[in-house]
């Protein structure tokens, strides 16, 4: 049995680290390089970094910053933001990045997934979709930081992306983003059974209990988070943090002892 991967998700804007609430009200957190150094010291398993303005502002990926991040990072790094060509993707990989996250481009040109996967392998291609609840069991896909709504059916589209060659799917809940009140469990129930690639839910984590709830109910699943790694206390003071190895092992053992998994099952998720 493998131990879970615990992965902070960091947002970039104007070369700085920020955190949003429902894709609005962004708060400056600090220098991303310093954050990477702290996560190195904390021995994080993996790191996801998303430049949320690159596509909106039609900017080229910031290769100098990406190179700096990759050179400092002592863990696998996933980068997303402004990637629109295979050449850009290959250049980013050449800088030391292990995975690329594709968002708006997969809505505009789904076949781009196949083009990139053919060059770098499906295992390195992550699709990140921002979704908002329309009704109790219906969700709409948005792009450009929640500003542009698509007319695509969520389940049909993620199944199509899987056929095209994505190696991982990340669903980001716009409704729950930054609220730290828990994950959208209904969203997980709707999408997870429909695909076979690794699936990660993002948006809403406020405590380790939220993580435990997700993996207890849904077993093999990814759980991504940002706020719990950059804020501390009820006043949301800025503090870059990460679970200690002892805390991480304790959490997994508690879940296992609760009977959520059989001893032979493979467990992999991200926090």
pLDDT at 266: 46
What pLDDT was estimated at residue 261?
62
Residue 108 contacts by C-beta under 8 Å, 6 or more apart in sequence?
A: 143
Structural domain includes residue 271: no
Residue 3 has a pLDDT of 54
Residue 130 falls in the annotated catalytic set: yes
Domain count, the chain: 1
The domain of 13 spans 9-257
- Does this model's pTM top 0.75? yes
Mean pLDDT of each 10-residue bin along the chain, 271 residues long: 72 96 95 96 91 94 98 96 97 98 97 97 97 92 96 97 97 97 96 93 91 82 89 89 80 71 51 47
pLDDT at position 221 is: 78
pLDDT of the residue at 137:
85
* Three-class SS state of 239: coil
122 within a domain of the structure (yes/no): yes
Q: What is the pLDDT of residue 104?
A: 96
Going from the C-alpha of 189 to that of each of 38, 151, 199, the distances in angstroms are 34, 21, 11
- DSSP β-bridge partners for residue 11: 18, 50
Please check whether residue 223 is in contact with residue 269, taking contact to mean a CB–CB distance below 8 angstroms: yes
Please indicate, yes or no, if residue 80 is contained in any of the structural domains. Answer: yes
- Specify if 264 maps to a domain: no
- What is the rounded CA–CA span in Å between residue 46 and residue 198? 15
Residue 51 is inside which H or E element, if any? strand 47-51
**268 belongs to a structural domain:** no
CATH code of residue 239: 3.20.20.70
CA 257, distance to chain mean position in Å, is: 28
Q: Which of 53, 130, 177, 184 is catalytic?
A: 130
Does residue 103 lie in a domain region?
yes
* Triad 22, 53, 131: Cα angle to 5°: 40
Q: What is the pLDDT of residue 2?
A: 45
d(CA 8, CA 239): 13
212 in any annotated domain? yes
Q: Residue 2 falls within a domain, yes or no?
A: no
């Amino acid at each position: 049995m493998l131990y879970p991967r615990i992965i902070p998700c960091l947002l970039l804007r104007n070369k700085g680290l920020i955190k949003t609430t429902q894709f609005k009200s962004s708060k400056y957190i600090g220098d991303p390089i310093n954050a990477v150094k702290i996560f190195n010291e904390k021995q994080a398993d993996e790191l996801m970094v998303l430049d949320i303005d690159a596509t909106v502002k039609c900017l080229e990926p910031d290769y100098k910053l990406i190179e700096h991040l990759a050179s400092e990072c002592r863990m696998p790094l996933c980068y997303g933001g402004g990637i629109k060509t295979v050449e850009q993707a290959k250049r980013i990989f050449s800088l030391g990045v292990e995975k690329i996250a594709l968002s708006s481009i997969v809505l505009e040109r789904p076949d781009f997934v196949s083009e990139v996967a053919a060059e770098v392998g499906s295992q390195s291609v992550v699709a990140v979709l921002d979704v908002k609840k329309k009704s109790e069991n219906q969700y709409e896909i948005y792009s450009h930081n929640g500003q542009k709504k698509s007319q695509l059916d969520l389940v049909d589209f993620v199944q199509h992306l899987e056929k095209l060659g994505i190696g991982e799917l990340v669903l980001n809940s716009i409704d729950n983003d930054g609220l730290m009140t828990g994950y959208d469990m209904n969203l997980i129930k709707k999408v997870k059974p429909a695909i076979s690639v690794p699936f990660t839910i993002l948006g809403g984590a406020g405590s380790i209990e939220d993580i435990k709830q997700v993996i207890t109910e849904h077993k093999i699943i990814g759980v991504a988070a940002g706020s719990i790694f950059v804020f501390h206390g009820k006043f949301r003071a800025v503090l870059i943090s990460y679970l200690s190895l002892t805390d991480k092992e304790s959490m997994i053992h508690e879940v296992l002892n609760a009977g959520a998994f059989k001893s032979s099952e493979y467990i992999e998720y991200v926090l």
